[in-house]
Amino acid sequence: MSASRHLSDTDVQALLHDPSPDVRATTAAKTARSFCASTLSPAERTLALEIIRLMMRDAEVQVRQALTDNLASNPDVPRDVARALAADVASVAIPILETSRMLTDDDLLEVLRGGIAAKQAAIARRQNISERVAREIAAEAAPEAVAALLANESAILTDAVFGIALDRFPADEAVHHAMAFRARLPAVVAERLVSLVSAALREHLLAHHALPDDMATDLLLQARERAMVEMTWGASHDELMALVERLYSNNRLTPTIILRALCTGDEDFFECAMARLANIPVENSHRLIHDWGGSGLQKIVEHCRLPHDFLAMARIALEVSRDLEHDGTATDRWRVARMVIERVATSLDAAANTENLDYLIDKLAGPGT
């Protein structure tokens, strides 16, 4: 249907007698909907474009929104019109930025570099984003735009793009979640991501993405150790000793599980475990561990042949536990863990992902643990 037939005399009279924003928006919407190169004569096309360009300059946002809502997916829209609407305020620009095929990569890059997060996210949601645009989003855009890009299965994402996103946002949960829940993820990216994310996302990565066998095994061990440590809180001395003995007999009394318990404030488990590894009474273990003015802790760690970095992390964890007042709740345990992580990062210059207890324990417990 042509623009002249779609915009009836009634429409024109309404616009003349009531040029309110609502009426102008209705006129803009009708004009935009009827704009089709295959059904308009050259004269009608020229007239429709004149109306569209006039209303693109309308002071009312709702009028310009009516245009962009009805032109966004139109393949006949001239590029200059699409560019002008894309440069408008975010509420007007978003439909065009998300959908219009008239915008080139250069047009999109220009908008991206404008720094408006909502516009960046709209571009990140486009279908079939090129590698060039994807890289720019990963390198320069706001975190919500990067998360939208990573959630966009049609975007062309190389290993480099994933790497840039992880470099910029090593602790952003939305970015990590979007990456982890992609249908496919390169193994090299999954390997890096697994050390940054929460326990729930690690389990998803393990279940849905191809990881090396040794990494999959490590993830399962981490989950088992976390569950074991959580079960020990509030256990009696006899219960702890029985658990430690069982773990030791099954070759599961590892440096990582001992550190994990200590880093969440469970000194009792730590003392029992160290006593078992050193084959000494728990009373002696306690005295050595809390020999604040001497080298007792170092001696028992060396006697148990634990990694050198184990000593450094254990000492920091004990200092944190000594400094904090505990209320005995699970929340308090993780407050202790947070303090340990922060102090480890400061004292040992532990680079990358200082919010992840699994990462620090694996890093500091040493090889072969």
38 vs 137 pLDDT, higher one: 137
Task: With a cut of 50, say whether residue 3 has pLDDT above it.
Answer: no
How far out from the chain centre does Cα 144 lie? 9
Q: What is the total residue count of the chain?
A: 369
The closest alpha carbon to 215, from 227, 205, 228, belongs to 205
184-193 pLDDT per residue, tens: 877 667 767 7
270-288 pLDDT per residue, tens: 999 999 999 999 999 999 9
Cα angle, residue 34 at apex, residues 31 and 39 outer, rounded to 5°: 140
94-132 pLDDT per residue, tens: 999 999 999 999 999 999 999 999 999 999 999 999 999
Q: How far apart are CA 271 and CA 275, in angstroms?
A: 6
Q: Place 86 in a pLDDT band, splitting at 50, 70 and 90.
A: very high
Half-sphere exposure of 309 (CA within 13 A, CB side): 16
329: left (phi over 0), alpha (psi -120 to 50) or beta: beta
Residue 186 contacts by C-beta under 8 Å, 6 or more apart in sequence?
159, 162
Q: Place 205 in a pLDDT band, splitting at 50, 70 and 90.
A: low
Q: How far apart are CA 107 and CA 296, in angstroms?
A: 66
368: left (phi over 0), alpha (psi -120 to 50) or beta: left
Helix, strand, or coil here: 58?
Answer: coil
Give the C-alpha distances (Å, rounded to integers) separating 237 from 140, 197, 232, 251, 252.
Answer: 54, 34, 10, 21, 19
DSSP string for 252-305:
---HHHHHHHHHTT-HHHHHHHHHHHHTS-HHHHHHHHT-TTSSHHHHHHHHTT
Q: How far apart are CA 347 and CA 317, in angstroms?
A: 12
Task: With a cut of 90, say whether residue 2 has pLDDT above it.
Answer: no
Average pLDDT value for residue range 145-172: 92
Q: How far apart are CA 168 and CA 274, in angstroms?
A: 40
* Most confident option among 78-82, 219-223, 228-232, 256-260: 78-82
Helix, strand, or coil here: 156?
Answer: coil
The closest alpha carbon to 180, from 168, 167, 162, belongs to 162
Q: How far apart are CA 256 and CA 273, in angstroms?
A: 12
Q: Place 367 in a pLDDT band, splitting at 50, 70 and 90.
A: very low
Q: Which residue has the tokens 């720019």?
A: 136
Domains of the chain, by residue range, sit at: 1-94, 104-211, 214-365
pLDDT attached to residue 14: 56
Number of H helices, E strands in the chain: 24, 0
The one-character DSSP state at 326 is P
Reported for 137-144, long-range contacts at CB under 8 A and 24+ positions apart, including other chains, are 137/112, 138/162, 138/164, 138/165, 138/168, 139/164, 139/168, 140/112, 140/113, 141/112, 141/117, 142/117, 143/169, 143/172, 143/174, 143/175, 144/117, 144/120, 144/174
Task: Yes or no: say if 260 and 229 are a contact pair by the CB < 8 Å rule.
Answer: yes
Average pLDDT value for residue range 32-40: 74
Share of the chain above pLDDT 70, in %: 70
Q: What is the pTM of this model?
A: 0.55
pLDDT averaged over every residue in the chain: 79
Q: How far apart are CA 71 and CA 199, in angstroms?
A: 45
Give the C-alpha distances (Å, rounded to integers) separating 25 from 19, 33, 56, 65, 207.
Answer: 10, 12, 11, 8, 51
pLDDT attached to residue 366: 41
